[in-house]
Amino acid sequence: MAKKPPSRPKAPDPSCRVVLLKGKEAFLRSHHTSELKEALIQAHGGVDVFLFDGEKDEAATILDECRSFGLMSEHKLVIVDNAEGFVGGASRALVERYAQAPCDGATLLLRAETWHKGKLDKMIEAVGVIVECKEVTGEQAMKWCRVRAKKRHETDIDERTASMLVDRVGTDLARLASEIAKLSLAAGGRITPELVWEMSASSREIDPWTVQEPLLSGDPERAIGSVRRILESAPRDAHVPVAMSAVQLAANMHALAARGRTPAAEVGKARKLWGFRLSPVEAGAKRADAATLRRLLDEALEVDAKGKSGVGKPEISLEVLAGRFAQTLR
């Protein structure tokens, strides 16, 4: 019986002779680079690092560096940014030949935002690993924030607060890492929603869930009072994001109420409802039929349109709309 070929690593490690990090998430490319460098240092006692630009430096020069002996350390890490340029055109044959017989004394690390798959990919996987560094989704970013805060800063951040942070900052991991580091210093062990509101880089923006959660309560006093407080404390023209948040909530509930046999999780995924938010919105959708929620959505769209066109008093229209949410979901 023939032996199975040795399994290749799923992440860069000292056994890899060629590594490809492909994708637009620069933070992940940097993270995997640092991890690989540390692993090589532990394995070889030191490593010489050489950095090249695949769009400017000659492929022959880069590959010669891989083949030559190191002067200071026994192992080299040769990094090529913009690697799509390095493997393009006439240079591709040179890179393919190297990948089929890479030097033991060097690890060639290719980093590329874009990458066109070809036979070189299989050659790389035979002697190393290919790692996807894709931009993350909101849910992935939320989970990453929680792990990052705990492992790097020994600070807790719950799912709701992490979601709030992602809503404000976006899914760029480098920016999230910076915000988490800053928040952790002031947190005293736990990052709270209030701290995110006060200190996050986009703290003047309105978090949609801050608007939507009171609207789901079915309590007119809470729904109307919450809208009033948000509008009083937020910057000018805050009625626009408040109305948009109400429209989004009404649309999500209508979609869930009209889903038929489609699983709620599938509808939630399509509408970017994840984590702790799907369950309360689904529960709200069960309190009214699809036709009633369609009328609520139409009212929200009308308030949104009037507010953007300067018709009427948007603050009063939004308070009335909050009351309609409470009446519908009571």
DSSP string across 235-303? PTTTHHHHHHHHHHHHHHHHHHHT-TTS-HHHHHHHTT--GGGHHHHHHHHTTS-HHHHHHHHHHHHHH
The answer, yes or no, to whether residue 7 has pLDDT greater than 70, is: no
318 with 231: CB under 8 angstroms? Answer: yes
Note down the domain range covering 96: 18-132
Mean pLDDT of 62-84: 89
Residue 1 lies in a domain: no
Q: What is d(CA 151, CA 235) in angstroms, rounded to the nearest whole number?
A: 36
What DSSP designation does 113 have?
S
Q: What is d(CA 180, CA 185) in angstroms, rounded to the nearest whole number?
A: 9
pLDDT of residue 5: 47
The answer, yes or no, to whether residue 230 has pLDDT greater than 90, is: no
How does pLDDT run across 196-205, given as a tens digit for each residue? Answer: 877 775 544 6
Using alpha carbons, select from 210, 136, 213, 223 the residue that is nearest to residue 168. Answer: 210
Last residue of a domain, one of 89, 111, 132: 132
pLDDT of residue 77: 95
147 CB-contact burial (10 Å; exposed 0-12 / middle 13-18 / buried 19+) = exposed
Same domain as 317, residue 215: yes
What DSSP designation does 310 have?
T
Same domain as 309, residue 274: yes
| CATH number of residue 290's parent domain | 1.20.272.10
Q: What is d(CA 173, CA 153) in angstroms, rounded to the nearest whole number?
A: 16
The answer, yes or no, to whether residue 49 has pLDDT greater than 50, is: yes
The answer, yes or no, to whether residue 37 has pLDDT greater than 70, is: yes
What DSSP designation does 116 have?
-
pLDDT of residue 231: 82
How does pLDDT run across 166-176, given as a tens digit for each residue? Answer: 888 888 898 89
Same domain as 251, residue 225: yes
pLDDT of residue 208: 84
Q: What is d(CA 142, CA 132) in angstroms, rounded to the nearest whole number?
A: 19
- Based on the structure, what is the number of domains in the chain? 3
Residue 317 lies in a domain: yes
Angle CA 322–327–208, to nearest 5: 35
Last residue of a domain, one of 199, 227, 245: 199
Same domain as 101, residue 193: no
Residue 10 lies in a domain: no
203 with 197: CB under 8 angstroms? Answer: yes
- Give the confidence band of 3 by pLDDT, cuts at 50, 70, 90: very low
Q: What is d(CA 329, CA 322) in angstroms, rounded to the nearest whole number?
A: 11
* Interhelix angle 314-329/208-215, nearest 10 degrees: 50
Same domain as 122, residue 179: no
Neighbours of 185 (CB within 10 A): 11
| CATH number of residue 114's parent domain | 3.40.50.300
Residue 6 lies in a domain: no
Last residue of a domain, one of 132, 163, 180: 132
